Structure 1
Amino acid sequence: MHVVIAPDCFTGTLTAQQAAQAIAQGWAASAPHDLLTLRPLSDGGPGFLDVLASALPDAQTLAVTVADPLGRDVPAALLVVGAEGDRTAYVESAQAAGLHLLAADERNPAVTSTWGVGQLVEAALAEGATRIVVGLGGSATNDAGAGMLAALGAGAPKDLARGGLALADISDAALPGLATTRERFAGVELVLATDVESPLLGLQGASAVFSPQKGASPEVAQALEGALGRFVEVVRRTVPEHTDLLTGTARRIDKTPGAGAAGGLGYGLALLGGVRVSGVSEVLEAVGLRELLRAADLVVTGEGCFDWQSLQGKVVAGVAGLALETATPSVVIAGQATVGRREAMTLGLSGSYAVAETPAQVEAAMSDPVGTLAARAARVAATWSPRS
């Protein structure tokens, strides 16, 4: 039997590559006769570049140094594919703005900046990229991409790169270079790869939904909402909005799906002409998963927690959807599962399995994530793989 192993990362414990290897280890122990193909995946968040690098043999990895959310130098990379004149650069925003770059007591979305993401995009432009794909996810920021825009020349760092809360006090003239910065991207296809469809502002926006996960108190989240609203006001005064030909009203970039991704970084990129795509779909196409599944008997995906968010465009949903199209049975192995059987079946999954179901099992899984995941995969293989 040919089994494709295509998990996401198990956030906080295993990268996608480590998870794939652990599942393969357990599967091979129980079903050594099976052919296993490993394809680690990402939805655009942490691990985006590693996943693509392992699946794109012709890609060139370029090392760069950028600022982290608090302005300290950190190593990062670009992934460049193609020849001059037709070159794609892949950027992982979490390498510069990721929550994992900060200690627990440093997490404060009121003061963190996306300046380093702007440095990554600038490096992509310097490489002659005509298409730039930015993976969004796992951010520690909530500045609507203002820091990134400052790094690209839209305004002064003292106005835009001091974190989201500082945007509450910016003047109407804080974006003197925005029009010129937008012109620099006129000939570049800018792609926002993310699973998040939230707008920038409102009850479903970046500050209300995601800033608490990054360390914001309810009071700070409310203040960030106001600060980002002020930033949007200044942007609208600086550059004209396009009119929707159907409704005759101004097209509000802050209300477009994905504008709230990565603390509003989606909004900043959309100002430069960026168009949102599903991060999962972008990765699935890049790694050629559809072709793999056509030749496979089963696909095993996975993630840290299989919950309601998994149904909304995450890796598990993407794999299950593709498996339906290719008539390939699919199962998920997750660290924990809160989604019921009926909900799992709506995705097209043939089975869902949790590594940990009790507090004691959760503790064991956290202390030995590879061993417990491999053991669960071995039991799943005994169910799905016929004995030779």
Structure 2
Amino acid sequence: MARTVVIAPDSFKGTIGAAAAAEALAAGWSRVRPSDDVRLMPMADGGEGTVDAFAAAVPGAHRMPVTVTGPEGTPVEASWVLLPATGEAPRGTAVVELANTSGIERLGTPPRLRPFDAHTKGFGEAIAAALAHGVSRLVLGIGSSSSTDGGAGMLTALGARFMDAAGAHIVDGARGLATVATADLSGLAPLPPHGVTVLSDVTNPLLGAGGAAAVFGPQKGAGPDDVPALDAGLARLAALVDADPDAAGAGAAGGTGFGLLAWGARLVPGSAAVAELVGLDAAVAAASVVVTGEGSYDGQSAAGKVPGHVGAIAASAGVPSALVAGRIAPDADAAGFAATASLTGLAGSGEAAMAEPARWLEAAGAQLARAFEER
């Protein structure tokens, strides 16, 4: 008997995006069960692949190309996605992703980490382009950042002015925060009529031991001596801007969450908001099987990450779900899934799985299709 299958993975970070992962899983599933109706609904939590996920999952979505200033100061080709008009957003919703404008992925492979110089100006330029298009609402994904500039570059692109004690514009990046003396946000572009929703999967504050510099700075090349300097720059910014540095998510994306709070945006858990916007609940309710996944499924994955959220939606609808992951950690609780597949197990090693992710995702899709064929 033919089944309806919803395939809703996150990206497998650093190896393959959510949309391509969904396609590979679907190819494997369809090889075993060609008569099944397979629906691709790639997911995201605000990081790399958010724009791709919306473009693939929402009928009528249009990709809008834009050239922006990359995190190293050179032009990069990026895009945002225009979602169709709805009653809540009569002129459409724009989805803009920090990762494809100002993200660490824009620094090469391996990335040319520049903890004091990388910035978020390009992200702001892409937001400005969406506003100029006249959209009713913005949805912003802020994962996978390359910088620790507190969102100052983004705010500058939207009309803010940050000056040093001599009245000169500060330089881009965290380096400029070390000299910032005044902040003028009066020229900021107004929010669109139906507001700005920010997708984030972290709840860190801006400053301190749990803040942007201490927790995420080392991932961006900051050494032990750099972290206090980065934190001090963020503290200078926080003293000049009317936003709460202790708010949950203020430290997301090198403090870009804080900058967006200063603009008046609302920060929300990424995977839940994406699921709502793409209509995942209704798709799952009409499905026979749901397949989800991510690069590494571990003890944290059930709390706010895409597989945990998709699995919970499936459980509420009484629909069996399956998990695919690059690796499934020993501490991971996968008991709620009817079947699992590990790319590392299929490929024989993590290195082999990461070298050919599409190949092993297709193999995983076929393995899961056979597992459900026996049910």
Would you say 1:263 and 2:268 are equivalent positions? no
Q: Give the corresponding residue for 1:243.
A: none
Give 1:291 shift.
1.1
Q: Give the corresponding residue for 2:112.
A: 106
Contact 1:59 1:81 in 2 (8 A): yes
- Higher helix proportion, which one? 1
Question: Partners in 2 of 1:99 and 1:91 — Cα distance?
Answer: 16
- Corresponding letter in the other structure for 1:194: S
Q: Give the corresponding residue for 2:327.
A: 336
Would you say 1:152 and 2:151 are equivalent positions? no
Would you say 1:368 and 2:356 are equivalent positions? yes
SS at match of 2:308: helix
Would you say 1:294 and 2:285 are equivalent positions? yes
- Corresponding letter in the other structure for 2:64: L
SS at match of 1:70: coil
Would you say 1:326 and 2:317 are equivalent positions? yes
Question: Partners in 2 of 1:160 and 1:31 — Cα distance?
Answer: 59
Q: Give the corresponding residue for 2:141.
A: 135
Would you say 1:72 and 2:74 are equivalent positions? yes
SS at match of 1:62: strand
Would you say 1:305 and 2:293 are equivalent positions? no
Q: Give the corresponding residue for 1:94.
A: 99
- Aligned-pair identity in percent equals 39
Give 1:234 shift.
2.0
Distance 1:4 1:57, change over 3 A: closer
Would you say 1:216 and 2:226 are equivalent positions? no
Question: Partners in 1 of 2:111 and 2:57 — Cα distance?
Answer: 36
CA deviation string 1:88-145 (max 9, x = no partner): 2211111211111102352122211111111112112211223111111111111110
SS at match of 1:308: coil
- Corresponding letter in the other structure for 2:360: T
Distance 1:261 1:339, change over 3 A: farther
TM-score by length of 1: 0.87
- Corresponding letter in the other structure for 1:91: V
1:281 to 249, 272, 278: 272
Q: Give the corresponding residue for 2:16.
A: 14
Contact 1:164 1:224 in 2 (8 A): yes
Question: Partners in 2 of 1:117 and 1:131 — Cα distance?
Answer: 16
Contact 1:195 1:312 in 2 (8 A): no
SS at match of 2:358: helix
CA deviation string 1:269-323 (max 9, x = no partner): 1101110112212221222211111121211101111123322311112201211
Q: How does 1:164-175 map to 2 (within 5 A)?
A: 164-171=174-181, 173=182, 175=183
Question: Partners in 2 of 1:130 and 1:207 — Cα distance?
Answer: 34
Q: How does 1:211-250 map to 2 (within 5 A)?
A: 211-235=217-241, 239=242
Give 1:31 shift.
3.2
Give 1:339 shift.
4.9
Contact 2:44 2:306 in 1 (8 A): yes
Question: Partners in 2 of 1:189 and 1:85 — Cα distance?
Answer: 13
1:31 to 30, 33, 38: 33
Q: Give the corresponding residue for 1:45.
A: 47
1:207 to 193, 213, 216: 213
SS at match of 1:356: helix
Q: Give the corresponding residue for 1:119.
A: 125
Distance 1:328 1:181, change over 3 A: same
Question: Partners in 2 of 1:187 and 1:50 — Cα distance?
Answer: 25
Question: Partners in 2 of 1:85 and 1:376 — Cα distance?
Answer: 41
- Corresponding letter in the other structure for 1:100: E
- Corresponding letter in the other structure for 2:211: G
- Corresponding letter in the other structure for 1:258: G
Contact 1:85 1:128 in 2 (8 A): no
CA deviation string 1:214-240 (max 9, x = no partner): 2111221222111111111122xxx4x
- Point out where structure 2 has 5 or more consecutive residues left out of the alignment: none
Distance 1:359 1:326, change over 3 A: closer
TM-score by length of 2: 0.90
Question: Partners in 2 of 1:334 and 1:98 — Cα distance?
Answer: 24
Contact 1:306 1:339 in 2 (8 A): no
Contact 2:50 2:97 in 1 (8 A): yes
Would you say 1:193 and 2:209 are equivalent positions? no
Contact 1:78 1:89 in 2 (8 A): yes
- Corresponding letter in the other structure for 2:367: R
Contact 1:147 1:161 in 2 (8 A): no
Q: Give the corresponding residue for 2:369.
A: 381
Contact 1:114 1:161 in 2 (8 A): no
